[in-house]
A and B are shown apart, each in its own frame.
Chain A
Amino acid sequence: MGEFLASTWYTYNTLLYTIFVNGMLALSIYLTLACGQLSLGNAAFMGMGAYTAAILTMKAGAPFGIALIAGGALPALVALIIGIPTLRLSGVYLAMATLGFGEVVRVAFLNMSITGGSLGLNGVPAKTEFWHLLLVMGILIYFFVKLKSSRFGRALEAINEDETAASVMGIRTTLFKVWAFAAGAFIAGVAGGLNAHFTFFVSPREYGFEFAVDILTFAILGGTQTFWGPIVGSTILTLLPELLRFMGPYRLALNGLILLFVVIYLPNGIVSRDTFKKKADRG
């Protein structure tokens, strides 16, 4: 009985951790979506963060906090390098560049010796405590609350709605888009670092295009008008597979259907801006 309880706790413990990590990933893609850009590289950024942090704690004995920050910084730097040429261009170029980039990162993980090749890294030390996740999530939520009512948040929203009009208002649109993309990469990297230190391994197969689509689905299902949307969306979709285990290999098909359905019939997602408003405010 005791054993059963312990194992149950262990299972749900992991699930709870995963909800937080997925929430962070959803927020990481939300930052780019919030300025009208689609990043399909956030799974790769997560992977870079996971490897970087794990290598630092395993091989260099770095303190966990430093490893996490480095795990965020490296993808952010890479995002700057990809973002600066891509985000000068309009609309869809970031999506296409990050799609290709994700593939390159996967190939690199598989072929480099420091990442352990196709075996990945095993025996990553258990360092992630529940309060770490709470703290990071807390900081993120605080950040997004502050962002919303600031000149920066308004600029991102304006760019999302009409980039041309925003630029005429004196907003440096490229700067903001690059910044949002890099900040998203940072968040994804930190989430990857946290994830690696409670799953105890990093595998090169986890960070491919499929997971990028998962992350996108989190955000789209929840809605990208407010930052609560991605959090709600990721929580639902993290719990859903537990309920839908019987679907087996067709689980991803469900993701596809959700994306399609939500984009067409529920374009604002589950949590929209209007969710927080009284009817009277809508005029």
Chain B
Amino acid sequence: MEPETAFSAIGEDLICIGRVTVFLQQFANALALGSVYALFAIGFTLIFGVLEIITLAHGTIFMVGAFAGLLAVTKLHLGLGPAILTAMLAAGTLGWVIDLVAVRPLRKRSFHHLAPMIATIGCATFITSIAQGLFGAEAYRFPFDFVPATSYTLGPVQLTLLQLIIIAISFAFMVIIIVLLHKTKWGKAVRAVAENRRTAALLGIPVDRVYQITSFTAGALGGAAGILTGINFNTIHAFMGGPMLHRGIAVVILGGMGDIRGALLGGLILGFSEIMSVAYISSDFRDAVSFGLLFLILLLKPAGIFGRTGERKV
């Protein structure tokens, strides 16, 4: 082998190693992003599975969670943990109120199937507009060094403390939710209602209470996703809910409507697709990735990746 070509071969190897490292680094970023998407989408899919409605106010709840967390930090000088709890409490309460005001009245009579969705659009528009009135259109930030910029090196990958926190908290909540649903009496009631509302009511399950608890829980998860996203990108504004809602929808369709495991996996897939497309294609169309994915799945496998064929309700 000629020396020159040998050298260039080594060069290519180095570039290749470099690429692998970059790839692994992106992997960590994607994991952080995807786990928040999953957290957001689980609330969305929970509402669909149990209440059988698409709540287009989930993005707004996310935004309110982020602001509640921000105010807890800037005005009340709370730490990260209490701030997350505040965000969840605020967003959960909002989820509960939306159910009470917009969705519950529509449950009683037989309404057009689009009515609850339109009602949640009404709520979203109202709340977003109020938030815009209160906070303006500018972006808010957390105090400098709110989460120390420490980073850890795991082999070739650098993980920031923030990413670790985000990944840990998201997964913790997801595990908690799944355990609650499958191991507790409450979870059994929720699953029974999701399966068949009428039978559940006959069995003496307080269906309305299940709806309220579900709305609160879903809202709280959305709020957690909100504050985590706010810290991750360190920007919070009144319109941050819209793009997240689009992603949530893409994730939920990807994972199969009402499927919690699907939402988890779908969130990670979307996180990876976005990070990889930004890294290797262009950042201009990051917001379009979720739609591309959504459209692709609708075209190829509309029942979601786990593909439980959606039997038509006859």
A positions within 8 Å CB-CB of B? 33, 36-38, 82, 85-86, 88-93, 95-97, 99-101, 103-104, 107-108, 111, 164, 209-210, 213, 216, 220, 248-253, 255-261, 263-264, 267
Contact = CB atoms under 8 A, between A and B. Distances in A.
Interface stretch (B6-14, B128-136, B149-157, B170-178): B128-136
B246 A100 contact: yes
Contacts of B111: 263, 267
A85 B297 CA distance: 10
Contacts of A82: 295
Contact of B54 (A88, A96, A216): A96
B80 interface: no
Contacts of B122: 255-261, 263
Interface residues of B, number: 48
B295 A36 contact: no
Given A36-B113, A103-B288, A260 B129 contact: no
Given A107-B285, A259-B118, A249 B132 contact: yes
Given A36-B112, A103-B287, A263 B119 contact: yes
Nearest to A248: B133
Contact of A99 (B249, B284, B285): B249
A107 B284 CA distance: 8
B39 interface: no
B20 interface: no
Contacts of A89: 298, 302, 310
A250 B294 contact: no
A97 B118 contact: no
A256 B129 contact: yes
Interface string B279-297: 0000011011011101100
A82 B295 CA distance: 8
20 contacts: A82-B295, A85-B298, A86-B298, A95-B54, A96-B54, A96-B294, A97-B295, A100-B246, A100-B250, A103-B243, A103-B288, A103-B291, A104-B291, A249-B132, A250-B133, A256-B125, A258-B122, A260-B119, A260-B122, A267-B111
Interface string B81-106: 00000000000000000000110011
Contacts of B128: 252, 256
A101 B113 CA distance: 22
Contacts of A101: 291, 295
Contact of B112 (A86, A93, A267): A267
Nearest to B113: A91
Contacts of B130: 250, 253
B63 interface: no
Nearest to B300: A85
B313 to A, nearest CB: 8
Given A92-B54, A258-B122, A259-B119, 18 more contacts: A36-B113, A88-B302, A89-B298, A95-B54, A96-B54, A99-B56, A164-B312, A210-B125, A213-B125, A250-B133, A252-B128, A253-B129, A256-B127, A257-B122, A259-B118, A263-B106, A263-B118, A264-B102
B205 interface: no
A90 B312 contact: yes
B133 A38 contact: no
B133 A99 contact: no
Contacts of A90: 310, 312
A36 B123 contact: no
B299 to A, nearest CB: 5
A164 B28 CA distance: 47
Q: Top 8 A-B pairs ranked by shortest CB distance?
A: A256-B126, A259-B122, A256-B125, A260-B122, A253-B129, A252-B129, A100-B291, A85-B299
Most buried by B among A90, A104, A251: A104
Contacts of B292: 104
Contact of A249 (B119, B133, B245, B314): B133
A67 B101 CA distance: 46
A194 B249 CA distance: 33
Nearest to B298: A85
B242 interface: yes
Contacts of A99: 56, 245-246, 249
A263 B102 CA distance: 9
Nearest to B130: A253
